Structure 1
Amino acid sequence: MDTAAGPSLTVRPLEQPAEMKASVELYRAVLELGPTAPAVSPRLLWALRRNGGSVIGAFDGERLVGFAYGFVGKDATSGEVYHYSQAAVVHPQWQGRGVGRALKFGQRAYVLGTGITTMRWSYDPVRAGNGHFNLDVLGARARWFVPNLYGVEDMGRDPGHPSDRLIVEWDLAGPPSPPAVDQVPTRLPGWGELVREGTDMLIGIPRSWSDVAREPDRAKQVRTAVSTAFERTLGQGYVAVSCRADDTDSAWYRLRPASASIGLTPAAPGSPSATGDRTQRP
């Protein structure tokens, strides 16, 4: 399977041990991991590739510029089988150029070829760019919130923060283009604030988390407020369907009741048995 994305970009499964090593180097660089910080193993990637997992690369000619991997998962409550995308990273020089979208759609095509029609993954809800990409560009839906999924961060970009995550679900068998959610709020919610708009709920977040993260105490307060808002609304049966930014320093999520959200049936109570996040931070 080769998926062309532009004149010089090709997306395909990784095939050689050297490609597995290059993907790990890219992963470490994009996530800003130190030399002793744990990372994915080339041998693990090779095992996944040989045993039903996805190990997908985006290449500019011979150069690897994007990488995603995942494995088959099973929901402990419902028994549903899905593909779990553990991570997806794009070289900083190639971010914002459509590589992430091409990479995820290459992964989508691969997973559909295995007969599985649903994919899940996690991401940090305070990162508006990831939220917009997952919900508005891909058309996935955030259905669950898991507090401190991996424990307190001890590496990467947010050391000392809890690893709170949204879990999204992507219907691979449905239309590849997400439905538009273009409504502009009548009142933009503050960071971590919940605002009701008709049957929808809105949650405000920073437009640029990296700017907020320069003030650690303030960043932790904002993260706590955002996490509390998601835990409350998703626990009440809402689904996050969109994340958009305004012209200032803020962005907002739009959440709808599960029964009214496009392309989803109501979610069962509880969270999936999933671990693991445009750069899709695990």
Structure 2
Amino acid sequence: MEHEQAAARAGVVIRELRELGEFEQVYRLFDEIWHPEPANAPVTVELMAGFAHTGNYVAGAFAGDAMVGASVGFLAADRSLHSHVTGAVIGKGVGYALKLHQRAWCQERGLERITWTFDPLVRRNAYFNLVKLGARPEAYLTEFYGAMADAINEGDASDRLLAVWRVHEEEKEKEGAEDAYPLVREADDGQPLVAEDARGRRVVLVGTPRDVERLRRQDAAAAMAWRMAVREALGGAMAAGARVTRFTEGGEYVVVMNERAR
């Protein structure tokens, strides 16, 4: 099966977690990834125990005895699983294998979709979600988590895109970007450059910074300028009914505008 092949390529075994010691391993792994303040952990040991006990999704990826990835999700409305948090070592294919395992878990239970949130400014996550997996953003959520106290997100607004991944594969709309209008792009100095007027445009591009996490550390004002620019352009378009159809190799969302809002 596809998820088993992906796990084998990543050199891991993925399985559901049931024991307290396993949940403690997940907690330590997430602590190493995000370095959160103690009161701001992505998920607690107690919550994982409750989730697993009530039939929700708590899984870990193991390379030998070492846990190198984990994912925690809970059943939600409309026959869906909300994937609350997934973390893995970068560059090993573990995250991809976890998501395929998660999809197979949902298929076995007759679920129809998986949802999760991600930071629209983080290019690698947008590429992974939209290109590698084929999920699609269906809502722009402003300050979804409020203030976040961890090493990656601290000092920035917690805007998120809601990704929706259909459990059963379907053909995705792939609007071409050749004639799209660059609504937000990166200027030579790394700042966001926002076009003055996109009225009447059918397809627009909303760019992202090359490395927003580094930018937050080096130039917090520039990182916040990107946040506001993408919030206004992408968030505003989606609120008016626009659809995000793909993500380019250059780090741009391809957005098909709602005809009534153009």
Question: Aligned equivalents of 2:200 and 2:97: distance in 1?
Answer: 34
2:188 matched residue in structure 1? none
Q: % of aligned pairs identical? A: 25
1:123 matched residue in structure 2? 118
2:72 matched residue in structure 1? 69
Q: RMSD of the alignment, in Å? A: 2.7
Unmatched 5+ stretches in structure 1: 75-79, 260-282
Among candidates 155, 162, 166, match of residue 160 of structure 1: 155
Work out whether residues 181 and 201 of structure 2, in 8 Å CA contact, stay in contact via their aligned partners in 1. no
1:46 matched residue in structure 2? 49
1:255 matched residue in structure 2? 255
Superposed displacement of residue 58, structure 1: 1.3
Question: Aligned equivalents of 2:121 and 2:162: distance in 1?
Answer: 13
1:81-230 correspondence to structure 2 within 5 Å: 81-91=79-89, 95-175=90-170, 183=177, 189-190=184-185, 191=192, 193=194, 199-213=202-216, 214-230=218-234
Question: Aligned equivalents of 1:131 and 1:107: distance in 2?
Answer: 19
Question: Aligned equivalents of 2:223 and 2:16: distance in 1?
Answer: 38
Superposed displacement of residue 197, structure 1: 10
Question: Aligned equivalents of 2:222 and 2:201: distance in 1?
Answer: 31
Superposed displacement of residue 36, structure 1: 5.2
Aligned residues: 246
- For the residue of structure 1 that corresponds to 2:208, the secondary structure is strand
Q: More helix per residue: 1 or 2?
A: 2
Question: Aligned equivalents of 1:225 and 1:90: distance in 2?
Answer: 30
1:271 matched residue in structure 2? none
Relative contact order higher in (CA < 8 Å, ≥ 6 apart): 1
Work out whether residues 173 and 245 of structure 2, in 8 Å CA contact, stay in contact via their aligned partners in 1. no
Question: Aligned equivalents of 2:58 and 2:36: distance in 1?
Answer: 20
Question: Aligned equivalents of 1:97 and 1:256: distance in 2?
Answer: 33
Superposed displacement of residue 211, structure 1: 2.9
Unmatched 5+ stretches in structure 2: 186-191
The TM-score, its normalising length taken from structure 2, stands at 0.83
One-letter amino acid of the counterpart of residue 100, structure 1: G
Listed one character per residue, the Cα deviations across residues 155-190 of structure 1 (whole Å, up to 9, x for unaligned) are 332323221111011100125x96767745677541
Question: Aligned equivalents of 2:38 and 2:179: distance in 1?
Answer: 44
- CA, structure 1 residues 58+151, in 2 after alignment: closer, same or farther (shift >3 Å)? same
1:8-23 correspondence to structure 2 within 5 Å: 8-23=11-26
Superposed displacement of residue 60, structure 1: 1.0
- CA, structure 1 residues 3+237, in 2 after alignment: closer, same or farther (shift >3 Å)? same
Which structure has the larger Rg?
Answer: 2
- CA, structure 1 residues 203+14, in 2 after alignment: closer, same or farther (shift >3 Å)? same
Listed one character per residue, the Cα deviations across residues 198-252 of structure 1 (whole Å, up to 9, x for unaligned) are 7322101112112321201111111111111122111121222322333xxxx21
Work out whether residues 118 and 125 of structure 2, in 8 Å CA contact, stay in contact via their aligned partners in 1. yes
1:55 matched residue in structure 2? 58
* Bigger mean CA offset, 50-59 vs 185-194: 185-194
Question: Aligned equivalents of 1:258 and 1:101: distance in 2?
Answer: 32
* Bigger mean CA offset, 199-208 vs 186-195: 186-195
